[in-house]
Structure 1
């Protein structure tokens, strides 16, 4: 029964996803009201999109802060080019002290499952420790490792691997929008 419900839900989501693509392509040549709504949701300037986002929401975090940082191959140390994202994450979390998070550690497909689970845990802990060093309460932070089990990008090339070596902050109790 549960499988049937999940299958139906997946089919509905697939149909809904198929419907949005034609609207965007059809609207690109017209100048109606739908063009404005389509444009505002996909291509609007950051200023107007920010006005519609509730402070402290998941969308606020994703749009204005960023939920992920990236790691080098076989490494769990924080890269210098990722510090700015971590600083934004820490500032946002301090601004909204009621929000708790889970930090996910991810790896690319290379290596054994066991090794990547351990590396993902080190990455999640490194991410967590850096946020703590910036003043975030450690009681608000949990970690989990998914190793190579949940790739963000499919592919066996440097570009895909680079996107999969990541730490992701998932907000547990923030407002939905």
Structure 2
């Protein structure tokens, strides 16, 4: 009797699975081609998609190759008056450029600038020292010297015009130009 009970349970289970399997639909629904809904209280039809709006903004993707990693790095570091010592607060920026220059095809120009005080010759020399000090800091992080060029503009290209301490502070800088 136990064999018959077991066989009966197996048959009932199989029949239930076949019945439920028949209820599943393999037809894909396409909401964009929905049939109009007819309003039974009147003879007008209503488009099911009319007035539907999405609260989701479209996403625009950019291939990774087109995003420039240098875009997220600071472009300028600043120096104290009459100094070419790279401040420790810029270590993160220098680390970022060192990683960027891990790609041997990348090049970097460091432009040294000064404020308007002092002679033209003095400021060209100080700007060059600032650019070279920044390049040397990158060299200590493993960047080959042939990937970095240090140039000076002295006081010839101020970032901010004026003779205030704020303007002077913005002009004592080294700028990074990737190529």
Greater shift after overlay, 150-159 or 122-131? 150-159
Aligned to 2:75: 67
Indicate which of 86, 101, 125 corresponds to 1:93: 101
Report if aligned partners of 1:65, 1:92 keep a CA contact under 8 Å in 2. Answer: no
In the TM superposition, residue 123 of structure 1 has moved relative to its aligned partner by 0.3
Greater shift after overlay, 98-107 or 122-131? 98-107
Indicate which of 139, 147, 166 corresponds to 1:140: 147
Q: Computing the radius of gyration over CA atoms, which structure comes out larger, 1 or 2?
A: 2
- SS of alignment partner, residue 66 of structure 2: coil
Indicate which of 46, 62, 81 corresponds to 2:89: 81
Residue 155 of structure 1 pairs with residue 162 of structure 2: yes
Task: Give the TM-score taking structure 1 as reference length.
Answer: 0.62
Deviations 1:42-84 (A, max 9, x none): xxxxxx99988823x3xx413x111211111000011121222
Bigger fraction of residues in helix? 1
In the TM superposition, residue 88 of structure 1 has moved relative to its aligned partner by 1.3
- Change in Cα spacing, 1:137 to 1:112, as seen in structure 2 (3 Å) is same
Work out the CA distance in 2 between the residues paired with 1:129 and 1:50. 35
Work out the CA distance in 2 between the residues paired with 1:126 and 1:111. 20
* Count of aligned residue pairs for this structure pair: 121
- SS of alignment partner, residue 101 of structure 2: helix
Work out the CA distance in 1 between the residues paired with 2:104 and 2:160. 32
Q: Which runs of 4+ in 1 moved over 6 A?
A: 48-53
- SS of alignment partner, residue 69 of structure 1: strand
Work out the CA distance in 1 between the residues paired with 2:61 and 2:124. 37
- SS of alignment partner, residue 155 of structure 1: coil
Report if aligned partners of 2:110, 2:148 keep a CA contact under 8 Å in 1. Answer: yes
Work out the CA distance in 1 between the residues paired with 2:65 and 2:172. 29
Q: Which has the higher contact order (CA 8 A, sep 6+)?
A: 1
- Change in Cα spacing, 1:52 to 1:160, as seen in structure 2 (3 Å) is farther
Aligned-residue CA RMSD in angstroms? 2.3
Aligned to 1:107: 114
Aligned to 1:25: none
Task: Give the TM-score taking structure 2 as reference length.
Answer: 0.62
- Change in Cα spacing, 1:69 to 1:51, as seen in structure 2 (3 Å) is farther
